[in-house]
Amino acid sequence: MNKSIVLNEALSIPERINNFALNDKNKYGEISRLISDKKIQYIVTVGRGTSDCVALYASYMFAKYLGLPSYSMPPSIITLEKSKFDFSKALVIIISQSGMSEDLIECENMSKKMGATTILISNNEKSPILNSCDFFYNINAGKEKSVAATKTFVLSLLIILKLIFKTKEENIDHHIELVGNFLIDDINNQWDPKILDKSTNVGFIISRGVGYAISNEISLKFKELCQEMIEPFSSAEVMHGPKSLIQNSFKLFTMSLRDNSGNVVKKDSSEITKLTDLHYEISYNKENKKTLFYKPYEFKELDPIIILSKFYPWIINYSIEKDLDPDNPRYLTKVTRTF
């Protein structure tokens, strides 16, 4: 057993995925019927921090697979700006590991008053949001003690995946179970944190599509745990100005998933990767010693789950390599108050 709480939680992700596959009691059918019957015509997601990265992922996935316009809404649109909407055809998804953030509680209450069907995705069965929301999806990750969310993020993505593929009448439970088993067997094949250069704290992580949503979470963890400004950019956007920042010894991460967007990342970024000697590639193709390799699974939509299961222990160990304390990120607390 490691001394680090957050490292132990990150290393438990494969087992939590397996437990989720076998014991998920969330009811997906009614939402699937509302979507299939056209009673839900667009999706609004609301979250902060890591949960906002889940929201960004959900927005892309609902649009991509179900053809539903999706919007990741800043909570302040409701809490501070007091904007009003006709949400009678909207599914509003509140995402919060703790379920205790005051601004998210307010967003759910107001969305309901504006006619929305509301869902809470949370790891807290005692969240006050349960008193008013229409549906509760339990992340069921076990208690997450650390400030940095890891296992709750991964399981939140699985809930989004199941909502989507149940609506498409495709059963992915078997695939989730197999991926959990694969990751349990692969637990000793961890990425090496020593390949990262510790002398510079700035860089980009470049991806596209679903990968861009995941890169936002990766960027957040670099900031939260390692005090490094690794900014996420779409490979389609980085050429519109941010490219100007790149120079030698500037960290540059690229991430390629096996979807249409991911397949063009390498082509998009081929020019800028030559501008620095610190290029690291998260990829299913093992090309060099700076490749952060993940073994793909047949169901490509689970690639982000595999990547994150390898990324979290790696970034935590890198934080330790830098003599930082990943269990106590500077200035941060578990429940952030922004309202």
> To the nearest 10°, the Cα dihedral for 1, 307, 162, 15?
-20
E strands along 170-268, which residues? 202-207, 229-234, 251-255
193-321: what fold?
Rossmann fold (3.40.50)
Amino acid at 84: K
Given a cut of 90, whether residue 331 has pLDDT beyond it is no
What pLDDT was estimated at residue 267? 86
CA 266 to chain centre: 22
Conformation bin of residue 197: beta by default, left when phi > 0, alpha when psi is -120 to 50: beta
Phi and psi torsions of 187, nearest 5°: -60, -30
Per-residue pLDDT band at 1 (split at 50, 70, 90): low
Q: Tell me the C-alpha distance between 172 and 116, whole Å.
A: 28
Angle at CA 97, nearest 5°, toward 7 and 283? 55
What pLDDT was estimated at residue 158? 98
E strands along the chain, which residues? 42-46, 70-72, 90-95, 117-122, 135-138, 202-207, 229-234, 251-255, 279-283, 291-293
Amino acid at 338: T
Q: Tell me the C-alpha distance between 307 and 295, whole Å.
A: 9
Q: Got the DSSP string for 199-220? A: S--EEEEEE-THHHHHHHHHHH
Q: Which two tokens stand for residue 270?
A: 């081929």
What lies within 8 Å, CB to CB, of 287 at 6+ separation is: 281
What pLDDT was estimated at residue 339? 56
Report which DSSP code applies to 88.
T
Given a cut of 90, whether residue 61 has pLDDT beyond it is yes
Computed over every residue of the chain, the mean pLDDT equals 93
- The kind and range of the H/E element at 160 are helix 151-167
Q: What's the pTM value of the predicted model, to 2 decimals? A: 0.94
Average confidence (pLDDT) over 159-178: 94
pLDDT over 70, % of the chain: 98
Length in residues, the chain: 339
Only one residue has tokens 């249409």, namely 260
Q: Tell me the C-alpha distance between 309 and 302, whole Å.
A: 11
According to the CATH classification, is domain 5-171 in 2.40.110.20? no
Whether 5-171 shares its CATH topology with 193-321 is answered yes
**Angle, helix 13-23 to helix 303-321, in steps of 10 degrees:** 150
Angle at CA 77, nearest 5°, toward 75 and 79? 65
Given a cut of 80, whether residue 181 has pLDDT beyond it is yes
User: Over the stretch 233-282, which tens digit does the pLDDT of each residue have?
Assistant: 998 888 777 877 888 889 999 999 998 888 889 888 888 888 899 999 99
Show me where the domains of the chain are located: 5-171, 193-321
- Counting DSSP H helices and E strands in the chain, the numbers are 11, 10
User: Over the stretch 139-156, which tens digit does the pLDDT of each residue have?
Assistant: 999 999 999 999 999 999
What lies within 8 Å, CB to CB, of 259 at 6+ separation is: 209, 210, 211, 300
